[in-house]
Amino acid sequence: MARLYLVRHGETTSNVMNRLDTALPGAALTDFGVRQAARFALDNMVAAEAPLTLVSSVARRAQQTAEVVGGIWGVDPEVVDGLYEVQVGDLEDRNDRPAYEAFSTVVERWHHGETSERLPGGESLDDVLARYVPAIDAIAAKFLVGPEARDVFVVSHGAAIRLVAARLASIDPGFAVSNHLSNTGVVELSYTPGDDVEWHAHRWGSRVAPFDTDDTEGDQSAMG
């Protein structure tokens, strides 16, 4: 069965400075972030032995990550709108404790069902899902089913990946809140089409399903 791999981008200058960087086009990869992307590609070379599709969000850091991965795999990445990070509005480019606490508080509420709660000057989870899920649905319908089904790697962003994957695959909110994704960390999903579409999560970072809600790992920064 073809799988969807949601991959967080490599390290950026904003990650190093702990800044809430969500406005497009956003920060570039650091040299280390480029090496992370290369390591991800090399560690997953077996994926490149079969036909696959490589997609990135429109953000600079995601495109750069996909370009490095695609260069090693011999695959041209596609850029798809709608897959960018949660837009933090008035908190943009801040790295102070109150900003991080404000962001984290709203995101935790989202995970627990308060989807209309809005970041100050930014998005609600309803906004994020309205742009992100249709893009994933289109990718799934095009590539994950049928006789020519293939794996798809989507280079996107930590907070958005966790929120959307948790929603699609009905992940326990406590697990999704606690388990952030490190740079180039992956959530692996499978898709069952039909009148009642089903998504199943098989891997979340280094965790393999079934997930233990008491486990915590990964980059615990707000954007991870």
Give the CATH number of the domain where residue 42 resides. Answer: 3.40.50.1240
Task: Indicate whether 219 pLDDT > 60.
Answer: no
The C-alpha atoms of residue 166 and residue 201 are separated, in whole angstroms, by 8
As a whole number, mean pLDDT of residues 33-61 equals: 95
Residue 59, in any domain of the structure: yes
Looking up tokens 């249709």 gives 134
Q: Is residue 75 part of a domain?
A: yes
Q: What is the pTM of this model?
A: 0.93
Q: Which domain holds residue 61?
A: 3-87+131-208
Q: What is the mean pLDDT of the chain?
A: 93
For residues 194 and 138, the model is more confident at: 138
Per the domain annotation, does 106 fall within a domain?
no
- Stronger pLDDT, 167 or 224, i.e. the higher one: 167
Q: What is the mean pLDDT of residues 36-63?
A: 95
Residue 116 lies in a domain: no
Is the residue at 25 inside a domain? yes
Q: What's the total number of domains in the chain?
A: 1
pLDDT digits (tens, 9 = 90+) for 84-131: 999 999 999 999 999 999 999 999 999 999 999 999 999 999 999 999
pLDDT tens sequence across 38-47? 999 999 998 8
Among the residues of 144-209, which ranges form H helices?
Answer: 158-169, 173-178
| Residue 219 to residue 197: CA distance in whole angstroms | 31
Q: Which of 26, 38, 31 is nearest to 11 (CA)?
A: 31
